[in-house]
Amino acid sequence: AKKSNNKGYVMYKKQQRFSHNQMLKLETRLHDAIINEAFELYYQPKVNLQTNEIDGMEALIRWFDDELGFVAPDQFIPFAEEVGFITDISEWVIAKAGRQVMIWNEQFNLNMRVAVNISPSHLKAENFIERLKNILKANEISPNSLEIEITEMSFLDQNADLLSTITQLKEMGITLAIDDFGTGYSSLSYLKRFPVDLLKIDRSFIHEMYKNEADVAMVAAIITLARALDLKIVAEGVEEYKDLLLLRDFNCEFVQGYYYSRPLTIEDFSKRLIEKGIQ
Ligand code: C2E
Ligand code: CA
Ligand code: CA
Ligand code: CA
């Protein structure tokens, strides 16, 4: 069941299954939200550990519904996948985030990329590449400014179509990142077969790794693997200075996390850029 706190936010427990009535309600509200573009994007800085400067950002969707209150993406994104709304939502995200990074790059004379999360079902949609090209063109978004994050789940059924899609993304100049790396069920063989650029180490390994030898060993091993395969590394969910120090020791290239910044509104992100870098 849902719980309302005193701010009127509706909070669903993670992984909780919805009742039939809740699903109907959610589906109606989500459908309305898509039509009315009732979403917002927040942007979390990705920081270069060597220079301490903002290198780029990840776009993260937010939905504040008039009736339901705040619904977390962990809740409505899986639902949107199930009911077939995910492509509409993701295409909105790509257009919005892509446009925004072009504006920032021009305004601050930078060359940043924005990362967007793409669900497996969207990636595998038949006309994915064609529609993506149209969105980039219509919004004057350079493919070089776009990074696509997919999880290992996308590689569960590795097939020729997927290889072709990903190869086409690369040919367009789009950067490809593996999200939540280390938590998927896929074998590592896809790293050899697919032209991936970047691994994002899941925050379950990073968070308080300084307290846990096994986590430190895993992170060190992932970074070694990435180096050998010529992949860049982003450590996600860095909250503690002690974890940051370990990542520095390992020469990890990029970090994201509350230690540097939570996801920000456009206005707050712009302020960070004006302050030039982050510290
Ligand atoms: P994700 O792609 O792994 O995104 C990272 C999540 O970790 C975000 O949660 C972010 O706010 C949070 N985070 C960042 N730094 C820290 C930290 O230091 N500590 C902690 N505890 N958390 C941190 P968020 O925004 O709630 O998103 C949750 C998930 O929802 C995302 O996980 C992603 O799978 C999905 N999602 C979010 N936006 C989109 C979107 O536009 N499209 C799609 N398809 N999925 C999205
Ligand atoms: Ca992500
Ligand atoms: Ca992640
Ligand atoms: Ca995730």
Q: 32-54, pLDDT tens digit by residue?
A: 999 999 999 999 999 999 999 99
pLDDT interval class at 158 (50, 70, 90):
confident
Residue 8: pLDDT over 80? no
Residue 4: pLDDT over 50? no
Kindly state the average pLDDT of the residues 144-153: 95
Q: Are 151 and 179 in contact (CB under 8 A)?
A: yes
Q: Whose Cα sits closest to atom 20 in ligand 1?
A: 237
Counting ligands in written order, the one closest to the CA of 74 is: 1
Counting ligands in written order, the one closest to the CA of 237 is: 1
Q: Between 195 and 3, whose confidence is greater?
A: 195
pLDDT at 275 (0 to 100) = 87
Residue 144: pLDDT over 60? yes
259, amino acid identity: Y
pLDDT interval class at 119 (50, 70, 90):
very high
pLDDT at 64 (0 to 100) = 96
Q: Which of the residue ranges 174-183, 211-220, 253-262, 268-277 would you say has the lowest mean pLDDT?
A: 268-277
ipTM over 0.95: yes
Residue 113: pLDDT over 70? yes
Kindly state the average pLDDT of the residues 59-88: 95
Residue 13: pLDDT over 50? no
Which atom of ligand 1 is closest in space to residue 80's alpha carbon? 44
Reported as type and span, the H/E element at residue 59 is strand 53-65
CA angle 99, 101, 107 (to 5 degrees): 105
Rounded Cα distance between 234 and 226, Å, is 11
Residue 12: pLDDT over 80? no
Mean pLDDT score of the chain: 91
Percent of the chain with pLDDT over 90: 82
Pocket of ligand 1 (CB under 6 A): 44, 60-61, 72-74, 77, 90, 93, 117, 119, 179-180, 203, 237-239, 256-258, 263
pLDDT at 16 (0 to 100) = 58
Which atom of ligand 1 is closest in space to residue 86's alpha carbon? 44
User: How far is ligand 1, taken at its centre, from the CA of residue 44, in Å?
Assistant: 9
pLDDT interval class at 11 (50, 70, 90):
very low
Please state the φ and ψ torsions of residue 232, each to the nearest 5 degrees: -85, 160
pLDDT at 277 (0 to 100) = 54
Alpha helices in the chain (DSSP H): 20-36, 73-83, 86-108, 120-123, 128-138, 160-172, 190-193, 203-206, 213-228, 241-249, 266-274
Residue 157: pLDDT over 90? no
Residue 262: pLDDT over 90? yes
Q: Are 253 and 272 in contact (CB under 8 A)?
A: no
Tokens of 71: 């619904």
pLDDT at 82 (0 to 100) = 92
User: How far is ligand 3, taken at its centre, from the CA of residue 21, in Å?
Assistant: 31
Q: Between 15 and 83, whose confidence is greater?
A: 83
User: How far is ligand 3, taken at its centre, from the CA of residue 83, in Å?
Assistant: 23
Instruction: Say which residue the tokens 């919004």 belong to.
Output: 139
Kindly state the average pLDDT of the residues 249-260: 97
pLDDT interval class at 153 (50, 70, 90):
confident
Percent of the chain with pLDDT over 70: 92
